[in-house]
Amino acid sequence: MARAAEPAPASLGRLGYGAANVGNLYRALSDEQAHAILEAAWEAGIRHFDTAPHYGLGLSERRLGAFLATKPRADFTLSTKVGRLLVPDPAGAGTLDLAHDFVVPADLRRQWDLTPAGVRRSLEESLERLGLDAVDVVYLHDPERADVEGGLDRALGDGLPAVAALRDEGLVRAVGVGSMVNDALARAAASGAVDLLMVAGRYTLVDTSAADEVLPACRKHGVGVVAAAVFNSGLTAGPEPRDDARFDYEPAPPGLLARARRIAEVCRAHGVDLPTAALRFPLRHEVVRAVVVGGAGPDQVRQNAARLAADVPEALWADLATEGLVP
């Protein structure tokens, strides 16, 4: 395995592209459509890209790697994830990976392995799919979901030292944990083993629960945060939350839907649309270094980049706080 590329970008940049969509999340894309999305991100100034073996059973990594291979290595930051190996699954032949929401052939299956050997193998296989010598950041992916004896205790006990060793050997520049579960994130932050957390859906306009323990632990231990899933499965992705809006992949509870609509009203009063506020909110916290969002088409990517550059008055945040809608 090669050492991390030199030089690497000093900053993640405020906006990153999360490449689950180019792994055929929810709908199939051609290679040409995936390339157009990634090119739109690059043209919009995005230089931070995140992927995972989980996304499309490796398809996201292959497509993203093919795209980035055409760009100067020193010009972008790339992260992937470890914890799930991809192994052949003859039983899945002729079927699709719809149980995991990816429209790809299910001739591979995910196999949990958070041991040092498994984590190293996962990175090596990711590099092969990417066609690149190195990634900059590796996250331990969803340790709370790991199907291992001992549950989260075992997953973190094995996985955190394993990813830290990759950094300590110079194979990657930074390591962390990506999760939707505050307990896993807070414990990782307090471990002293990680540089970054990818906080998925837990520090957003409609769910600020990571502010209770996770973000204070990050501040205390010098851990940076990359905020992901800031639209919470679409609840705040449009100017007005829909009746059938989803939150964390499920129908949004009525109380949460009403709260999101009130936030949208306050935003409109300040001339700001709800998705813009959703993108900008996490970045107001001192430990949040970047926001990573997906995009199923070039226009979505361009819209997100424009929203990040839009003017948002301080009075909006003050009014949301006065009503108890954000901390």
Which residue is it, tokens 């006990």? 157
Indicate if the pLDDT at residue 272 is higher than 90.
Answer: yes
Q: 229: number of CA atoms within 13 Å, CB side? A: 20
In this predicted structure, what is the pLDDT of residue 8?
40
Residue 189: CATH number of its domain: 3.20.20.100
**Does residue 303 fall inside a structural domain?**
no
pLDDT attached to residue 4: 52
Distance CA(55)–CA(51), nearest Å, equals 7
Structural domain boundaries, residue 50: 15-231+283-292
pLDDT at 1: 67
Token code pair at residue 104: 């790809």
Q: pLDDT class for 5, splitting at 50, 70, 90?
A: very low
Residue 97 domain-assigned?
yes
Residue 240 belongs to some domain of the structure: no
Q: Could you read off the pLDDT of 221-271 as tens digits, one per residue?
A: 999 999 999 999 999 999 999 999 999 989 999 999 999 999 999 999 999
**Per-residue H/E/C for 196-247:** EEEEECCCCCCCCHHHCCHHHHHHHHCCEEEEECCCHHHCCCCCCCCCCCEE
In a domain, 2, yes or no: no
Would you please indicate which residues are annotated as catalytic (active-site) residues?
55
Give the H or E element holding residue 258. helix 254-269
The answer to whether position 270 is within a domain reads no
pLDDT of residue 10 exceeding 90: no
Amino acid type, 304: N
Task: Tell me the C-alpha to C-alpha distance, in Å, between residue 129 and each of 76, 226, 238.
Answer: 18, 24, 34
150 backbone dihedrals φ, ψ, rounded to 5°: 100, -5
Residue 53 near residue 61 (C-beta atoms within 8 A): yes
Q: Cα 269 to chain center, whole Å?
A: 30
Closest Cα partner for 295 from 12, 26, 18?
18
Would you put residue 229 in left (φ > 0), alpha (ψ -120 to 50) or beta? left
* pLDDT over 60 at 44, yes or no: yes
User: Is 159 inside any structural domain?
Assistant: yes
Q: List CB contacts of 187: < 8 A, sequence separation 6 or more.
A: 152, 156
A 10 A CB-CB count for 307 gives 19
Q: What is the pLDDT of residue 12?
A: 87
pLDDT, tens digit (0-9, with 9 covering 90-100), for 156-212: 999 999 999 999 999 999 999 999 999 999 999 999 999 999 999 999 999 999 999
Global pTM value: 0.94
How open is the CA angle 246-249-251, to the nearest 5 degrees? 40
Q: Is residue 208 part of a domain?
A: yes
In a domain, 319, yes or no: no
Other CB atoms within 10 Å distance of the CB of residue 239: 13
Q: How many distinct structural domains can be found in the chain?
A: 1
